[in-house]
C-alpha cells in the first residue's frame, strides 16, 4: 500500500465537501461527509458521470447525472443497480489527508 497526501491540513478543516483530486496518476473523488473522510473512483460506472460533481445523501454518494447512489463506505450501488465503485482507504494525519492505493506488481518491480 502506498499512501498519497491529497488534501492539506487547511483543506480537511472545511465543511463537508465532495471534490476531485489527482493522486497516484489518477483522478479520484474525495468526500467529507458528517466529518468522516472517504475516497472513491471519480467516474460513475453507469454512464461516465463525474462523481466529484455529486453530493451525499444518507451515507451514499449521489451521481449528478442520473442520481444513482453508491455507499460511501463499501462502494456498493443502491438496490437494483447491481454495480459498485472502487473505494480507497483514507487516513487523517497531522499534515492532511492521505489516500491508500495498492501498489501494482509492475510499479513495485519496475519503478
77: which strand partners? 70
Chain-centroid distance of CA 6 in Å reads 11
Question: Does 44 participate in binding ligand FES (rule CB under 6 A)?
Answer: yes
Judged by CB under 6 A, which of 3, 17, 65, 100 binds ligand FES?
A: 65
Comparing CA positions, the residue from 29, 33, 5 lying closest to residue 88 is 29
Under DSSP, the state recorded for 15 is S
Residue 21 vs 29, nearer CB to ligand FES: 29
* Whether the Cβ atoms of residue 67 and residue 60 lie closer than 8 Å to each other: no
- Closer CB to ligand FES, residue 12 or residue 31? 31
Among the residue ranges 28-36, 61-69, 72-80, 101-109, the one whose residues contact ligand FES (CB under 6 A): 61-69
- Using CB under 6 A, list all residues that contact ligand FES: 44, 46-49, 63, 65-66, 68
Amino acid at each position: 500500500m502506498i499512501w498519497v497526501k491529497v488534501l492539506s491540513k487547511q483543506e480537511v478543516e472545511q465543511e463537508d465537501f465532495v471534490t476531485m483530486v489527482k493522486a497516484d496518476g489518477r483522478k479520484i473523488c474525495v468526500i467529507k461527509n458528517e466529518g468522516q473522510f472517504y475516497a472513491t473512483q471519480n467516474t460513475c460506472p453507469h454512464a461516465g458521470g463525474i462523481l466529484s460533481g455529486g453530493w451525499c445523501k444518507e451515507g451514499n454518494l449521489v451521481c449528478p447525472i442520473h442520481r444513482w447512489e453508491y455507499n460511501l463506505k463499501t462502494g456498493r450501488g443502491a438496490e437494483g443497480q447491481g454495480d459498485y465503485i472502487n473505494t480507497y482507504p483514507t487516513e487523517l494525519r497531522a499534515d492532511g489527508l492521505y489516500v491508500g492505493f495498492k501498489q501494482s506488481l509492475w510499479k513495485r518491480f519496475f519503478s
